[in-house]
Structure 1
Amino acid sequence: MSKVFTQTQIGNLTLKNRFVRSATWENMATEEGHMTDKLYGIYKELAEGGVGLIVTGYANIVPEEKPNAGMMGMYDDSFIEEYQALTDLVHQRDSKIVMQLAYGGTKTTYNLGERVIFAPSNVPEKGTNTQGKAMTLDEIDYIVQAFAKATLRAKQSGFDGVEIHGAHTYLINQFLSPYYNQRTDQYGGSLENRMRFLIEIIEQSRKLVGESFPILVKLTATEFFEGGLTFYETRVICKKMEQIGVDGLIISGNIHGKAIDMVGQSFDGHTLQQEGFFHQYGAVISQDVNIPVITVGGLTDIAAIEQIAESTNIQCFALSRPLLSEPDLVNRWQSGDRSESLCETCSKCRTKRGNFCIVNKERKRIIAQMG
C-alpha cells in the first residue's frame, strides 16, 4: 500500500491516512460566527471524501476582531454545543478534525474603522496597507489568554486538537517578523523576544488543556522579502516549538495566489516547487525536529505526493483548492483513479463570498444538463 494511505500519528492522535484538509475560510458562518446548515454540509462532505484530518477555517478568539465576514467563532462558550455536533458528524465518518485559531490583525480590509486592530508595532501590513494599534503589555496578555481559552473550548467541543495560526502575516507571524515587530521591550528585538508571544500562547493553552491534547502550529517558512522573517529563523522557531511541547508543524508560505508564478525562484537557499510549493522548506525542518511536519500548497498530483513522502521525512500533505474542487479526491485516489486533481490552480475559488470552486461547479452543471 502507498505510504500516503497508511496510518500516522500526530501526538496521541491517530490518522487513517496522511492527507489533511488545510484550513479554508468558507464564509458560511453567521455574522456572530455560529454554524449553519451549509457549513455542516461542507464538513460532512469532506469527512465522507476520505481525508484523514480536517482543519477548520480560522476561528476568531475575541468577539471584537474578525478579519473576514462569515468566519467561525470560538470566543465564548456559546459555540461549544454546536461544535460538539460538528465534531460528532466528522468522527462518525472516520475522520478527525482540529480547529484553527487565529487573531487576524492587520492582514484585513474588512470593516476598517469600526474596530481596534492590534499589531506588534505601528507598521502597516504590506499587502493591505492596514495600520494597527501597537499593543500594550496588558493587551498582549489579553490575546494570549484568549488563545488559551479558545483552545480549552475546542477540547470541550470534541475537537481532536487545535492549529494555532502563526503564518500569513497574521498577528503571531507579525510578532515573529523583524519587519513588522519593531518593539523595544521583551517582545521585540532578538528572535528569542519575538518568539515570546507565541511561546506564551502555547504555554498558557497547555495549562488549560493538559499535555495530551494535540496543539499544532502553522508557520511561514520565509517571508519572501528583504527584512522579513528568514528560513533560518523559522528553523529556530520550529525547534523551540518542539521543545515546549507542540505536537506538529504546518509549514506554509505567505504568497496567496502568487506561488504558482514564483515556481523555480529560490529564497533563503531553497526553491519553490511546481508540486508542493514549500516542501523543500518542510523537508529541511522535518530533519531538524522529531515531531510531524505537514506541507501545504500546490499539491495536485498523487504521484508527486508519494515521491515527496518517500524521499523526505514530511509526514502529512495538506490540500485546500483540490478539495474545494473535488471533496472526494482522496477516496478517488485510493480507489485506483490516480489522475491529477481537477483543480486548475486558477485561484478563482478565492472570492469575496468565500472559498469555493466555481470552475468545476459550472462543469458539473453543464454535464448534468447534458445528461
Structure 2
Amino acid sequence: MRKLFDETRLNGMLLQNRLVRSATWEGMCEDDGRPTAKLAAYYGTLARGGVGLIITGYAFIRPDGKQLPGQLGIHTDSFATDMLALTDAVHKEGGKLCLQMVHVGGQTSSKAIGTQPVAPSAIKVDQYPEEPAELSCDDIAELVALFAEGACRAKEYGFDAVQLHASHGYLINQFLSPLTNRRTDTYGGSVEDRCRFLMEVYRSVRRAVGKEFPVLVKLNGADNLAGGLTLDDALVAARLLDEEGVDAIEVSGGTPASGEETPVRQGIETREQEAYNLSLAYRIKQTVSCPVMVVGGLRSYGIVEGIVRREEADYVSMARPFIREPGLPRRWQGGDESRARCISCNGCFKPGLKSGGIYCVVDKIERESRGTSL
C-alpha cells in the first residue's frame, strides 16, 4: 500500500515523500529575473520543512514571456552564480528543486514587457489584457529552442528536474485551447495539431537534457471555460506526453477567466471544497502510465493521505499551505495531522507586489498580536 511518506524515484531523482510544493510566483527576484538571496533562503526553508519536491515559481524563457514583477528568469547565462545559490540552499537541507519554465504568451501586457504580447492567434479574449500579435512559424521555432536552452541551464545549475508550464492559460495552454488557438496551419485545428507546440517543446527539452534527467509537465485537465480546453482534449495531450516518456504530469485546471473555477480558489473551508482538480487528475491517471500529481485546494491530512493510499494520484501538490506553514510536512509526519492552517484568502500574494516577496499576512498579524517575530 502506498503511503504519503514513502521514498520514491522519478527517473532516478530520489524524493523523501510524495508531497510537492507546486509552483507559485514568489516576487523575490530582481526586475530582470535574477534570483535573490531572499529566494534562496525561502527555498531552503521549504526543504528544511520536509517538502519532497520543490517546484520553483514560473521562470520566463524570454523577457516578453514575463508576467509579474519579481518573476524568475531562465533566459540568460548571467544568472549562473545566483541560480547555483538556489540549488545549493535546497540541497544543503536534503531537498530537491525543479525549475518550472514558462512563456506567458497573451497573458501579459505591453506595460509589463515593453512590447506587444504574442500568442498563437491575434485575438482578444477575456484572459488577455490586450490583443496580442500572432506568432509566426519562425517565432514558434525560436521559442521551442529557448525552452531547451533554459532546460540546459537548469541542469547545469544543479536543478534536479524541469517542469513545462502548460496550464493556467499561459502560452502552451493557449496553443492547446481552441478558444485561444484559431490557427489554420499545422499548429491549430484538431486536438493533435493543437498539441503540436507542446510536443515540440517537450521533445526539444528532452533532447537537450537527455533521457536520465526528469522532465515534468503541468497540464490543465480542463480550462473550466466555455470554448476552452476540455478533459477529452487533455487526455489526448497526456497520452502523447506519456508515449514520449514524460516523467510526471501535474494536473491543474482553470485560467484567470474561469470565474469561480480558477486555478487558485478562495475560501477552502470544508473537506468537500478540497481537491477540486482530483476528478481530472484521476481520469488522466487512468489514461497514462507515468506518475500523476494533483494540485488544487488540498488542506486536510486525511484527504491527502487517502489520495495516495487509494492511488488516485501518485503525488499531492500544494502551494498556499506551504506559504503559511513551510514545516507542514514535518508536522504531519511527526503525528500532528491537523488541517493545514491556510485559510485560502490569497492575501499572501499582495506582499509580492508591494513588499518584495510573498508571505502569509494572516500569520504575520497573528504573530504580531502575540508579540512574536516572523
User: Same fold per TM (> 0.5)?
Assistant: yes
Q: Secondary structure at the match of 1:158?
A: coil
Q: 1:336 to 1:147 in 2, by over 3 A?
A: same
Per the normalisation by structure 2, the TM-score is 0.92
Paired AA for residue 312 in structure 1:
E
* Cα gap change, 1:251 to 1:369, in 2 (>3 Å): closer
Q: Residue 172 of structure 1 aligns with which residue? A: 172
The DSSP-based 3-state class of the residue aligned with 1:143 is helix
Note if contact 2:59-2:71 (Cα within 8 Å) is conserved in structure 1: yes
Which residue of structure 2 aligns with residue 320 of structure 1? Answer: 319
Does residue 132 (structure 1) correspond to residue 135 (structure 2)? The answer is no
Counterpart amino acid of residue 299 in structure 2 = T
What residue identity is the alignment partner of 1:183? R
Counterpart-to-counterpart distance in 1, 2:288 and 2:333 = 29
* Alignment partner of 1:335 is 2:337: no
Asked if structure 1 preserves the Cα contact closer than 8 Å seen for 2:266 and 2:345, the reply is no
Question: What is the Cα deviation at residue 273 of structure 1?
Answer: 5.3
Q: Could you tell me the TM-score, scaled by structure 1's length?
A: 0.93
| Distance across 1 between alignment mates of 2:45 and 2:267 | 32
Q: Residue 363 of structure 1 corresponds to which residue in structure 2?
A: 366
Count of residues in correspondence between the two structures:
362
Within 2, Cα distance between the matches of 1:294 and 1:317?
Answer: 5
- State the partner residue of 1:258: 260
Match of 1:8 in 2: 8
1:304 is aligned to 303
Q: Which residue of 1 aligns with 2:28?
A: 28
Q: State the distance in 1 between where 2:55 and 2:182 align.
A: 32
User: How far did residue 23 of structure 1 move?
Assistant: 0.5
Contact kept, 8 Å, 1:47 with 1:94, in 2: the verdict is yes
Q: What's 1:268 paired with?
A: none
User: In structure 2, how many angstroms separate the alpha carbons of the residues matched to 1:46 and 1:125?
Assistant: 37
Query: Paired residue for 2:218?
Result: 218
- What does residue range 240-259 of structure 1 map to in structure 2 within 5 Å? 240-255=240-255, 258-259=260-261
Distance in 1 (CA, whole Å) between partners of 2:150 and 2:104 is 15
| Residues 41 and 89, structure 2, Cα contact 8 Å, conserved in 1 | no
Name the residue aligned to 1:266: none
Q: What pairs up with 1:224-239 in 2 under 5 angstroms?
A: 224-239=224-239
- Give, in angstroms, the shift of residue 62 of structure 1: 1.1
CA distance in 2, matches of 1:114, 1:80: 25
**Matched residue of 1:355: which SS?**
coil
Q: CA deviation at 1:240?
A: 0.4
2:188 matches 1:188 = yes
Which residue is 2:65 aligned to? Answer: 65
Structure 1 CA distance for aligned equivalents of residues 291 and 278 of structure 2 = 13
Change (3 A) 1:369 1:129: closer
Shift of 1:122: 1.4
SS in structure 2 at match of 1:212? coil
Q: Matches of 1:110 and 1:116 in 2, distance apart?
A: 5
Conservation of the 8 A alpha-carbon contact between 1:52 and 1:95: yes
SS of residue matched to 1:9: strand
1: CA distance, partners of 2:358 / 2:126: 22
Give the secondary structure class of the aligned counterpart of 1:203.
helix
Q: Which moved more, 1:333-342 or 1:109-118?
A: 109-118
- 2:109–2:116 CA contact under 8 A, matched in 1: no
Please provide the CA RMSD for this pair: 2.1
* 1: CA distance, partners of 2:154 / 2:327: 26
Any gaps of 5 or more consecutive residues in structure 1?
A: 264-271
Structure 2: state its 5+ residue gaps: none
Asked if 2 retains the 8 angstrom alpha-carbon contact of 1:67 and 1:104, the reply is: yes
The one-letter code of the counterpart of 1:189 is G
Give the Å deviation of 1:274: 1.6
